[in-house]
Structures are given as structure tokens and as C-alpha cells.
Chains A and B, each alone.
Chain A
Amino acid sequence: MERHILVVLPHPDDESFGIAGTLAMHLNNGTPVTYACLTLGEMGRNMGIPPFATRVTLPEIRKQELEASCRAIGIKDLRMLGFHDKMIEFEDQELLDSSIGALIEELDPSLVITFYPGYAVHPDHDACGEAVVRTIAGLPEAKRPKVHCVAFSRDHEQAIGRPDVENDIRDFLKQKMSSIQAHRSQFQAAELLGKKKHTDKELQARFGKEHFWTYRFE
């Protein structure tokens, strides 16, 4: 059992498809989870169909969706760090690293979950993972929490191989589906999930497993 899990991701909804079930599983085991979300996803392109958000209202709408997603998963400690969407790779690294470092210092997590730097497609994902890995690499070896990374770029398996962690989250599919549904400006849950229930075999096959790569520090 983990002592405390810290999740560091750049956008509201990054938690939904790859991580939500794993978090619900750990929460069910009694492990506290803190989710640090770097931005409000205010530069997102999805505005709902038909569009109900605008560039101006999107940050507030996505903030509410993020809070609803956390409620769905059972996360009670959500930190919104206030960085600007799309700009993580250009952000002052000291500021970024010290924000993440302060959370690690405060929470002393046994596991940190983030994106795999270089294999997570969106520049914010890669920059977020880089900042987490850079911050943890700066800690003395004995103080470093485990880091589990999400990777999904086209070439990722050639470079980093198969994931070494596979979580069967079929028992927590309900929470995961509710997290997806919470981000209603971003995902067309009706199209993705249809009217199927979380016990549906097809949905369980599609969404019932989550994969992570343990980051190997040099």
C-alpha cells in the first residue's frame, strides 16, 4: 500500500483516461491522493458541442469540471497551481520545480504519477514530466519517491519498452467513467461510452486497464 500519492499533470482531464481508475483503487485502499494540476486548460480547443464555452469562460468552466472529476474519483486534495496552459515548456524552470518540490516536501509521497518526459505527445505533458523528474532527481536518492509515468506517443514502446505496471481497474470503472463525464466541455462522453453501464464487457475491455512506466533515475 502506498503512503501518499502525488499526481502532477498539466491539464484538467489529463487524469481521466489513463489514471482515474488507479487513483480510485488507491483511494479505496485508504491511500490519500493529492492532485496538482498545473493549468486550467484555458487554451483548449474543445468548447462543447454545440460550443457552450468561449476562450473567456473556458478556464472557469474547466475548473468546475476538474473539481467534479475529483469528486467522482474521490480525490479530496486538489491543488490548482495557476500556470498558463500551453506555456509549461517556456515557464521559469526554477518556479516550476520549486512549486513541485514544495509539494513533495509537504506531502512526502511514496509515489508520484506524471507523464513520461518525451513520450507524452503534448508539449505541456512532456514539460510537466520533465519538471517532476528533474525535481525528484535533485533529491538525495533515499528521499526519492517512486515515479510512475504515462506514455502514449507513437514511438514510445520502441524507446522505453512495455509498461512495467499494469493496473486492473475494472472494479473502479464507474469512478473513471464519471471522471470522463465530468469534463463535458472536453469529451463527448455519450459518444465514447454510449448508454453502457460500467459493468459492460466492451467498456471493461477498452478502459479496464491502466499502464505505467516506472521512471529509472540514472
Chain B
Amino acid sequence: MQHIHPADIQPRIDRLKDQDLYIHLEMTTGAYAAHLDSSKHPAATFISNAVIRYSHGSISGNGPYRVGLKTASGWIYSEGLTHYEESDSERLIMAGHDSQGKLVVALQLSKEPF
């Protein structure tokens, strides 16, 4: 994984628009959040291999980054993205890692199921 360069993400978002895609979207504090610090509220959510299609999408912010994808009747949104997989040209694999390197958020798009 490399640090996100928005200028490299935007063309990847554009290449994947207007087609059916599999999405993995996730956010998590980790199952140990409250065990390690009782003031923390453990929360996590993910959806894996749902099929979506967006007509327009972009990346914004100065890092960590935000991505918004406009679908026919709604939006897909993700904040806190820091890293992406540069070597993967077919898929868009993005994640946000906290200061300890742990994954907090993930947004992944692919023409094939994950």
C-alpha cells in the first residue's frame, strides 16, 4: 500500500464509472476498542460484494482523503482514506489507516467479486 496521491486516484475513479461494480465498503473501530479503553464505543460495519454503479465520482481533501460516488438514486461516501494499492490497475483498493497502522476504513471497487 502507498500513500494516496489524489491525482492518481481521480483517473482510476473515472475509469470505473458507468458500469456495474462490486463494492467492499467498511468502517471499524476494531473488536477490541472497548476492551482496551472502556471509554471507546466499539462500532464496525461492512458490506461486501454489493453491486453498485456510479455516474460520477471524485476524491477530495488534503489527506486523509474523502471519496464520494454518485449513484442513480443516492451516494456512496467514505472519509479517512490514506492508502491505496498502486499496482492494482483493474481495481481500486483504498483504505484509511490510523496512527498505529490499523485499518479504520476501506473502500474497494472491482469488476469481479472480492
Contacts and interface: CB of A to CB of B under 8 A. Distances in A.
Interface of A: 43-56, 86, 121-124, 153-154
Interface stretch (B8-16, B30-38, B57-65): B30-38
A55 B91 CA distance: 12
Contacts of A51: 1, 83, 95, 97, 101, 103
A86 B29 CA distance: 13
Contacts of B38: 154
A113 to B, nearest CB: 21
A50 B102 CA distance: 10
Contacts of A44: 103
B113 to A, nearest CB: 11
B67 interface: no
Contacts of A124: 31
A45 B31 CA distance: 10
Interface in B46-90: 46, 83, 85, 88
Nearest to B103: A45
Given A54-B85, A55-B95, A56-B114, A47 B32 contact: no
B101 A50 contact: yes
Given A43-B46, A51-B1, A51-B97, A56 B108 contact: yes
Interface residues of B, number: 26
B101 A46 contact: yes
A86 B101 CA distance: 20
Nearest to A152: B35
A43 B30 CA distance: 10
B99 to A, nearest CB: 10
A21 B38 CA distance: 30
30 contacts: A43-B26, A43-B46, A45-B28, A45-B30, A45-B103, A46-B101, A47-B95, A47-B101, A47-B103, A51-B1, A51-B83, A51-B95, A54-B1, A54-B85, A54-B95, A55-B24, A55-B26, A55-B93, A55-B95, A55-B108, A56-B93, A56-B108, A56-B114, A121-B31, A121-B32, A121-B35, A122-B32, A123-B31, A153-B35, A154-B35
A50 B100 CA distance: 9
Nearest to B1: A51
B30 A52 contact: no
Interface string B92-114: 01010100111110101000001
B106 A55 contact: yes
Nearest to A57: B85
Given A44-B103, A55-B108, A122-B31, 11 more contacts: A47-B95, A47-B102, A48-B101, A50-B1, A52-B1, A54-B95, A56-B88, A121-B31, A122-B32, A153-B35, A154-B38
A44 B32 CA distance: 11
Query: Which of A47, A51, A55, A56 has the largest number of chain B CB atoms within 10 A?
Result: A55
